[in-house]
Structure 1
Amino acid sequence: MSSGREPMPLRHVLTVPTRPASVRLARETAEMTYAEWGIDASHPTMGPALLILSELVTNSVRHAAVASPSLTVTFAAGEYTLAFAVHDRHPYHPGVVPAPTGGLATVAEVLTEHGGTCALRRDADGGGKSVWITLPL
């Protein structure tokens, strides 16, 4: 297992409308992208990753669509880490880590259970944010 921050040379970016159908498209793209990188659907990290991804994209669809007509998902991976980020242009920033209550409760629970991390990063202009998730492989 890697110690510290690992380089993640594998990257894929998906931009979709902030609509309900985009949740399924993001999941399908994740499955195909990670499979191309040798992380198939049966890998123990994929179930938790897809659940978290679905929650974050759904959150953007429900809460950010009015301010953000599209959202972007960035998929990444390294030798020991799978990662992805969901970005929208809604200015609300929910804090440093997902709260154990409210809409991000599932994300916080799954991250804790699987040794993952979450980082929230504001856009430079303050008009949006990215939620970065990492999970060990």
Structure 2
Amino acid sequence: MPTRLAALPHRHVLTLPTETSAVRLARETAEQALTEWGIGLRHPTVGPALLILSELVTNSVRHAAALSPQITVIYAAGRDCLAFAVHDRHPYRPPLYASVTGTAEGGLGTVMELVLGLGGTAVIRADADGGGKGIWITLPL
């Protein structure tokens, strides 16, 4: 990806309780941010990006709620790049690229198929204390 995440001019951070309503709120916030940033909701990357975001938030709600009462969603964009992350305080880091071998967990197989199909990247960044992680998705626009 040619654009460095730190260089992306548009950013928004949303912290939500780890509850099922977080999925809808994260998606609605993404739609609002993208519109404000001049990225049309009909752009071919946006629909899959919203599905990826929904799956990641759903996974945090399902699997991290016991240890993480909140999740944080970070949205970022630039002229040629859309990025977002879902962060929770559960230490488990699922193998993102397991979908290539057919061993992906939950919705991560779908997430990775979409990310790779769009020419994007995915990475898990562990918190410094090892007690949580953020899953970062970067997609070209």
- TM-score between the two structures when normalised by the length of structure 2: 0.91
Contact 2:11 2:76 (C-alpha < 8 Å) held by counterparts: yes
Q: Pairwise CA RMSD of aligned residues?
A: 1.3
Tell me, yes or no, if structure 1 residue 70 matches structure 2 residue 74: no
* Large movers: runs of 4+ above 4 Å: none
Q: Percent sequence identity over matched residues? A: 64
Contact 2:3 2:80 (C-alpha < 8 Å) held by counterparts: no
Q: Which amino acid aligns with 2:85?
A: A
Tell me, yes or no, if structure 1 residue 126 matches structure 2 residue 130: yes
* Other-structure match for 1:26: 26
Deviations 1:2-28, CA, capped at 9 Å, x for gaps? 736362121000000000011000000
Deviations 1:67-120, CA, capped at 9 Å, x for gaps? 00000000000110000000000010113x342022210011101111110010
* Other-structure match for 2:43: 43
Q: Which runs of 5+ in 1 are unaligned?
A: none
Contact 1:83 1:132 (C-alpha < 8 Å) held by counterparts: yes
Secondary structure of 1:44's partner?
Answer: coil
Q: More deviation in 6-15 or 55-64?
A: 6-15
Deviations 1:20-52, CA, capped at 9 Å, x for gaps? 011000000000001100012111111010000
* Other-structure match for 1:85: 85
Secondary structure of 1:47's partner?
Answer: helix
- TM-score between the two structures when normalised by the length of structure 1: 0.94
Q: Which runs of 5+ in 2 are unaligned?
A: none
